[in-house]
Structure 1
């Protein structure tokens, strides 16, 4: 069965514009693709394992071929479970609000858990890094922000949100990426109309994706 993984990086639930736009995509996508299993992952639900000292040691042991301690083995199993959920999908939907010119910290935490050598990427001393999650995978990414929008002066913010996330997608091998942007909404004269337009764009994309 085909699978779509929806990763929500917003903590605002019903108040989240990025989540509302993503849900608009999902509603029409589900109608057009009833055979696809939808898996929804809320990164703010508190279930991500911490990526601290034990995790870092477990990663370095795996990277260097050393034996892991029991604590490291336990964390590595938790990390592998998070990664397997990610790798089980062929299609991805991410909703990402801008936080301080970048992405919410839990999204970076999730990325640090799943982006492991031999799982998400490989490395060759001559050729460098290569993503291991290609195979026709594709992603839709919803970006929202209050003040920043493409083309504004630097005094209105900079975009380390999509530049970081797009680079990560490519790093793990996902190159088929479609963006939906609702940005600079705090400065819009008619924000509600622009918001509804973004939701319509998401619904139209969901029907054809």
Structure 2
């Protein structure tokens, strides 16, 4: 039995387009894969640990030592977060655009789980080594925005949302990635954009 983990970066509930599209995806996935588990992880639910002490623990690990005391507790909390993320062989992210990039809670998630030996190794001669590659994990990402859209000029903003997040996924070794996009812009046909996004979500989910 496989597992789909939906990781949500939107706090807007029923008003969220990224969550609505993700719901279309997960419902279709469950219909097509009735024996697989589906888990939803709302990054705004308070489960992400603060990483101020964890950042010190990270550098302790980089130095070849074992975190102690408060650092050890912070490191263990980060490890539990990573293990929840790593428990699924199928990952769905719902990512709204905030100020041309991603919501800060998603960056917090990335900073917590991106640790040496878990997500990456680093070699002074060859650089970073991704740790999640070659494990058959697949990723789907729902990207949404209200103002920015691919056909528009820079006066309507820039896309550091998918460029940043896609780069992070590939850096970890997750390269089997499919995007589902909803960018109706301020003057576009929102209903048609929804239909197109929903259709793509269903098509991907059926064979995910």
Q: TM-score range by the shorter chain?
A: over 0.9
- Within a 5 Å distance, the mapping from 1:1-209 to structure 2 comes to 1-52=1-52, 54-134=53-133, 135-188=135-188, 190-209=189-208
Report the Cα offset of residue 4 of structure 1.
1.2
Report the Cα offset of residue 204 of structure 1.
2.2
CA–CA distance in structure 2, aligned partners of residues 120 and 108 of structure 1? 15
CA–CA distance in structure 1, aligned partners of residues 5 and 151 of structure 2? 31
**DSSP-derived class of the 2:141 partner:** strand
Q: Alpha-carbon deviations, 1:46-92, whole Å to 9, x = none?
A: 2211121x111111001111232300000111100000011111110
Report the Cα offset of residue 199 of structure 1.
1.4
Report the Cα offset of residue 197 of structure 1.
2.6
Q: Is the 8 A contact 2:183 2:193 kept in 1?
A: no
Count the aligned residue pairs: 207
Q: Alpha-carbon deviations, 1:157-200, whole Å to 9, x = none?
A: 10100000000001100001000110144321x31232133112
| Range with greater deviation from structure 2 (25-34 or 101-110) | 25-34
Consecutive aligned runs of 4 or more in structure 1 exceeding 2 Å deviation: 184-187
Report the Cα offset of residue 109 of structure 1.
0.1
**When the two structures are superposed, what TM-score results if normalisation uses the length of structure 2?**
0.96
Report the Cα offset of residue 151 of structure 1.
3.2
Report the Cα offset of residue 206 of structure 1.
1.3
